[in-house]
Chain A
Amino acid sequence: MITISIANQKGGVAKTTTALCLANGLQECGYKVLVIDMDPQCNTSSTYRAIQENTATLYDFLHEDCTIEEAIQTTESGDIISGDSNLAGIEGEFAAHIKNYSLLRKALKTIDDKYDFAIIDTPPNIGFYMTSALVASSGVIVPLKAEKFAIDGLAQIMANINDAKDVNPDLQIYGVLLTVYDKRTALDTVVHDQLPEIGKERGFKVFKTSIRTCQQIKEAQSRQVRLFDEYPNCNAAIDYANLIKELLEEVKK
C-alpha cells in the first residue's frame, strides 16, 4: 500500500479536492483506495456521505476504542475512515502522548495488503493530525494555489516534511501541484511559469500537470458525487487524470 498525504498548512489550496479526485481517479484505474479524513472540518467525509453518528470514526480509532479496520466505512464513493467534528476539540489531548503520533502509521501496516493506496486529507495547520499523517505516509503531494505569499508558505511545509524524515526516512515529496489554475490571471501565469524553476532552486519536484479552475469541481462537491462518474470530460477531470499518470510514474521510482 502506498500512503499519500495531501498536505499544505495553507487553507483553501484544494487539499480536499485533490484527495477526493485522486482517490476517485485511482479507483477508476482499478486500484483499491482507502481515504482517511484527518481534517476536523470533515469536508472529505461529507462529500463521501460518511456517517459520524453511532459509528466508529477516526476519533474512535485514535482513542484506541476500535481497530483501524473497524473505523473503515464503505460508501458509494469508496472506503473511508471518516473524520469527526470532535477531533477539533481533542487535538491537544492526543498530542500530549507522543506514542499517539505513531498510531496511524502502525495501524496502516496491519492493512497494508488490503488497499493499493491510502489517501490522507490533512487540515490546514501543522498539528497532531498533519504530523501523524506525515509519520504514516510514503509520500506527500503539496497542493498550491497561486496567491500572494503562497510560495513563502511552501518553505514551511517543505521544512516540515524534511523534519519528518527523522522518523520516516523514506518519506518522499511526490511533488508540488498548482491548483485552481486560471491562465487568464496574471499571478497564476507567473506562478505557473516560475514554479518549476523555484522548485529546482529549492530542491522540490513540481508536477508538470496543473489543475485548471473548473466549475464542475464545485458542482461535484456540492452534489456529493464523484467527479469522474459525473463529469469525466471536464478540465479538472482531465487534469487530475494526467496528475495520476505522473504520480504513478513517481511511485514506481
Chain B
Amino acid sequence: MKANSKNRSGNIFESIRKEEEKEEKEEKAKNNQVDTSIKKPQQVNMATKKTETLAKNTNNAETQEKPAKTTKTEKFAETVSNNSGDNYLNMPENKVDSSVNNGLLYITPTRKKTRSHRKGFLLSDLALNNLQKEAAKYEISENELINQILEKMI
C-alpha cells in the first residue's frame, strides 16, 4: 500500500479515511463496553483501568472533532486587529477549554528509549556533490544509492 507506487494518490487517501473510520468505530465500541463493566463492584480494579482508557478515548474523540472554523478565524481576527504581537494563546478566553486536554494527555509521558543502533549523519557539501553525481550517473535517487552502498558494506 505504498502511496508512491501509484500515479494518482486517490486510493491511498481513501484507505487512510477508511482506516481512521474503523479505528473510531473500534474506540466507540470500547467506550460502550466500559460503561457496563464499571457497574459491577467485584471488578473495581478493571473498572478503574478502563475508566482511564475511557477518559483517554473520550478525549481522543473530542480532539478528533474538527474545531469550528469560525473560532480559528475569530482568533486570527483578534490577533491581527490587536496588532500587539501578543500571541492569542495567552488570551484568557483561549486558555479555558485547553485544560481538559492538558489533564488527560500529558499525564503519562512514556518516553521509550531511542533506538541505540541508529546513527544519523549529515553530508559535507563535497560528499553531497559526489553523491549527487554518482546517483545521476546511475539514474537512481541519492537515497537509493546510499541504501545500495550500505547493503554492499554489510
**Contact residues of A with B, CB < 8 Å?**
2, 29-32, 40, 42, 46, 52-57, 59-60, 63, 65-67, 69-70, 84-86, 88-89, 91-92, 95-96, 98-99, 101-102, 106, 109-110, 112-114, 116, 125-128, 130-131, 134-135, 159-160, 163-168, 170, 248, 251-253
Contacts and interface: CB of A to CB of B under 8 A. Distances in A.
Interface of B: 1-4, 8-10, 12-17, 19-20, 23, 60, 63-64, 66-67, 69, 72-73, 76-77, 79-80, 84-89, 94, 98, 101, 105-106, 109-115, 118-122, 143, 146-147, 150
B122 A42 contact: yes
Contacts, number: 151
Contacts of B4: 91, 95, 125-128
Contacts of B60: 106
B143 A40 contact: yes
Contact of A98 (B19, B76, B94, B114): B19
Contacts of A46: 122
User: Which of A65, A109, A128 has the most CB atoms of chain B within a 10 A radius of its CB?
Assistant: A109
Would you call the interface of chain B mostly helix, strand, loop, or mixed?
Answer: helix
A163 B2 contact: no
A79 to B, nearest CB: 13
B70 to A, nearest CB: 11
Contact of A166 (B17, B94, B120): B17
A89 B89 contact: no
A110 B120 contact: no
B120 A52 contact: yes
B142 to A, nearest CB: 8
Contacts of A32: 87, 89
B109 A89 contact: no
A60 B3 contact: no
B4 to A, nearest CB: 4
A57 B120 contact: yes
B12 to A, nearest CB: 6
B9 A164 contact: yes
B81 to A, nearest CB: 10
A95 B16 contact: no
A118 to B, nearest CB: 13
Contact of B72 (A2, A63, A65, A110): A2
A163 B13 contact: yes
B87 A30 contact: yes
A88 B118 CA distance: 13
